[in-house]
Chains A and B, each alone.
Chain A
């Protein structure tokens, strides 16, 4: 216990130092993002730490969470719905129905040439039917005022609804992937999740009707009760407080907003840590660990290993989806171009491994520590590199060296991951 306190205290000191030496704004910015990373790490920890499942598609599940924000909070575009809303929805339902029909045929018909033929007819014919319904609707929707909308818009609901919806979307994707790839070799899940992540991001970049693709969705609201800085600066009690306590209202408002976010995320984080700790110490948690440690003997005890794996895979992905939704609602912008596997998948893995896989507090600690390192180097790195190379003459070499600061992060993260795996495979806070 003292070790836990000591390590968490150490991380707290890092954030305090950032606040004192740089600025509180920056420190809180890093803290908030690290807390979201901590949520994602909890999700990965459920999959890897409890069950030994290797998910390389964290980015995809986080992106689905982000998509949920745009679909929930953005106001609906009435003209677009009129032009092609029915066609798009109908097309999607038709596509799902065709796939469903193919599954039914596959299950019901006897194996043989007639089944193959029937399946081919349904799938190929269905594909063209789907395109015939879907494509004109999409063209119609994307033609409506493309410079500001060009999409169907969202539901216009309060932003907080997006968080559970993000979890649901991610869970649905995890169900589909888990159904196919679980129960086979462990590497297959890794490869399949790598693929789904790439495809989710590709869809978000290219399907303009959905969330404007690379043209991005700007959110005009924030999750309740977080205020906008501008409104806050006009509120009487806030300006009074600024005058009484003697701080600058502009900086103060941005710190206040960040603190609101910190509180919101902390509520989600604490409840998820609480729930997963309870789950881990329940019969269910013991069963999961038993399966992880020896699948064969757990199966011999009558546990359905593949089904349990599917459950925990879906749960973990849902947590990642919620975190992805929080991330976008904090940024206020959905930009599919920012989803990079190195930042959203592998960084989270380093956090979980360094923190201590199998231990929820370890995942949180790893996220705060690595998140701090990653973001502080992002902001300070080029300056340090600039100072080191100050003596060099201006030119290509110096530019290259200053540029290279951001690539050093990858190298460092990789080396940290390898060192921890080799010399302290149980991480900073080992599983009990």
Chain B
């Protein structure tokens, strides 16, 4: 019984939050890695693209809510999501046309593009703060819990409860659907194949008649969609605050690099590596261990390896280890 209790506590406090956070990071890192693979620079504006997409979705959600439209047990934000993606894609395409295209034609060095993306980050950050402000916004509605801790205890008779929030279930399911679609798109469709060809060898792809402008456009649209979805899911699960999204940049980059920049599969693996390390290192293990060991050995302390204030240090440490020992990442991305 105690082993089961320990297992449930582990699932409740480590596995489910880690899985959800990992899915959000994976979606974010997929966007970064796609941009890197096709356009060959690290997009510092990705965090703020996420914030922008989430903001638009929140505005649509509020509008829908004011008209009395809801999505039943599912959050209304899911209904607003396509609109958020459309607006974000339009903004990102506009940015590419107005800003990035010039440097692409010039074949500017990647560092210049990174600085340019920093400028774009400023602008997007300014727009978001201007429209919605810097405060926390909570826009989750619909069913709060798929299973609440109380129901779970009644059902199983265990003393530990397992709570799965609606937003967590929505996150994981949406992420699976999105990733499946993305891989189908990249592997099976003509556009997806041309994108992979362009990423592998730009000259050869151009030689075989692939239209580079179209590849770039599709990449931006995909990146905008991924960023908006990741941002909305993160916002539903926790809450929306522009500065938090800027800070997400570090774990997202860490995830993309751990997996290997430019490798979509790697981005997903990297997202989960970062998320689980973060949750496991900052979780106070006292509860789980108390169930597993005899009473006489019960721990006094919290058994927390690191305070949650340092969760960014975890992704940073992993990033440093990867840079030191395998700069191409788990899935052989591009390191030079």
Chain A positions within 8 Å of B, measured between CB atoms, are 52, 54, 56, 127, 180-181, 184-188, 190-192, 194-196, 198-199, 202-203, 205-206, 341-342, 346, 349, 353, 400, 403-404, 407-415, 417-418, 421-422
Contacts and interface: CB of A to CB of B under 8 A. Distances in A.
Q: Classify the secondary structure of A's interface with B.
A: helix
Contacts of A413: 122, 126
Interface in B96-123: 99, 102, 109-112, 114-116, 118-123
Interface in B268-324: 305, 307, 309-310, 312-313, 315-316, 319-320, 323-324
B309 A184 contact: no
A384 to B, nearest CB: 16
Given A194-B250, A414-B122, 18 more contacts: A56-B118, A185-B261, A185-B327, A186-B111, A187-B110, A188-B327, A190-B44, A195-B250, A206-B310, A400-B133, A411-B123, A411-B130, A414-B126, A417-B115, A417-B119, A418-B120, A418-B123, A421-B116
Contacts of A408: 126, 130
B13 interface: no
Contacts of B211: none
A361 B10 CA distance: 59
Given A342-B125, A421-B115, A195 B41 contact: no
Nearest to A345: B118
Nearest to B249: A194
Contacts of A192: 316, 319-320, 323
A103 B312 CA distance: 24
Contacts of A196: 316
Nearest to A181: B323
Interface of B: 41-42, 44, 99, 102, 109-112, 114-116, 118-127, 129-130, 133-134, 246-247, 249-250, 253-254, 257, 261, 305, 307, 309-310, 312-313, 315-316, 319-320, 323-324, 327, 334-336
14 contacts: A52-B109, A54-B115, A180-B324, A185-B110, A185-B327, A196-B316, A203-B310, A410-B129, A413-B126, A414-B125, A417-B119, A418-B119, A421-B116, A422-B102
A184 B323 contact: yes
Contact of B313 (A54, A202, A403, A417): A202
A394 to B, nearest CB: 18
B307 A410 contact: no
A237 B143 CA distance: 75
Contacts of B250: 191, 194-195, 198
B319 A191 contact: yes
A415 B109 CA distance: 21
Contacts of A184: 323, 327, 335-336
A349 B115 CA distance: 9
A199 B310 contact: yes
A190 B114 contact: yes
A408 B126 CA distance: 6
B110 A186 contact: yes
Contacts of B334: 185
A407 B130 CA distance: 6
A187 B319 CA distance: 13
A320 B110 CA distance: 25
A273 to B, nearest CB: 24
Contacts of A206: 307, 309-310
B123 to A, nearest CB: 4
Contacts of A205: 309
Contacts of B315: 195
